[in-house]
Amino acid sequence: MSARRSLIAGNWKMYKTSAEAADFARRFVPLVSGLADRDIMIAPPFTALETVAGILKGTNVALGAQNLFWEAEGAFTAEISPKMLAAAGCRYVIIGHSERRQFFGETNDTVNRRVRAALPVGLIPVMCVGETEQEREAGQTFSVLDKQVRKGLKNLVANELGTLVIAYEPVWAIGTGKTATKEQAQTAHQFIRSLVANLFPAGVAAAMRILYGGSVKPENISELMAMDDIDGALVGGASLNPESFAKIVCY
Ligand code: PEP
């Protein structure tokens, strides 16, 4: 268990219409309303953001988006700017999810551009990193994480990093039912924290929240949260049902 304030975040991916998202929010909020000692976030699809924002207003559940574009505005058909997300009520934005990297050409460089665009409007980036199964088997986990973290945080200075969250999501554990063991997750988190400590002045790494993501469920959240460097979870599949996500949030 870390001393940092934990964050449990739900990534809904391309699931739920606006009406379905509203129904989730109405059912979920009362299940977690008593929890004052942790942060809670849900990230619906763009089309549901404003509706869900209305329901979450004044509650202890924050709203997040699943991506953004780095330009403030312009002729960028289908893109969504940081300012638009902030105006829609978002507090967080997920950046560099492995599905974006795998299917939509996201690179460490574009991740960095998105992170740098999120911070000035007050959005908290949840920057995702993680190795594939092939990379793990080839013994490249640490070198992949090193590159993703170093490049993702390039050109940022310590005082900009106050709120930034990193999510360690081994690609082989996402949506597969294969959770990293608590020891595998702790080792990766510790590695990321020491890397951040080498890159930025004292204090930044110790304060930074590092979430674990990859088949988190009500059954495994407690053992993960018991590890020193695990400060929360980014949850996909199990965040789609209010009762199951509430069980995770209430670990
Ligand atoms: C995710 O999409 O970030 C994720 C961790 O998914 P799941 O929990 O379904 O593995």
- Confirm whether 124 is domain-assigned: yes
In this predicted structure, the answer to whether residue 1 has a pLDDT above a threshold of 70 is no
- Number of domains the chain is built from: 1
Domain hosting 181: range is: 6-249
Q: Say how many C-beta atoms besides its own lie within 10 A of residue 129's C-beta.
A: 26
For 74-92, write each residue's pLDDT tens digit.
999 999 999 999 999 999 9
Share of the chain above pLDDT 90, in %: 94
Is 197 in contact with 158 (CB distance < 8 Å)?
no
Return the pLDDT at 130.
98
- Confirm whether 206 is domain-assigned: yes
Secondary structure, 3-state, 19-68: HHHHHHHHHHHHHHCCCCCEEEEEECCHHHHHHHHHHHCCCCEEEEECCC
Confidence tier at 28 by pLDDT (50, 70, 90):
very high
CA-based torsion, 216, 218, 220, 223: positive or negative: positive
Give catalytic status of residue 189 as yes or no: no
Which residue among 66, 99, 234, 239 is best mutated to probe the pocket of ligand 1, counting the most ligand atoms within 8 A of its Cβ? 234
Beta bridge partners of 10: 42, 235
CA of 11 to the centre of ligand 1 (A): 7
Return the pLDDT at 177.
86
- Confirm whether 1 is domain-assigned: no
- Confirm whether 235 is domain-assigned: yes
CATH of the domain at 116: 3.20.20.70
CA of 174 to the centre of ligand 1 (A): 5
Give catalytic status of residue 169 as yes or no: yes
Alpha-carbon gap, residue 146 to 111, rounded angstroms:
14
* Residue owning the nearest CA to atom 6 of ligand 1: 236
Q: What angle do CA 199, 203, 207 make, to 5 degrees?
A: 100
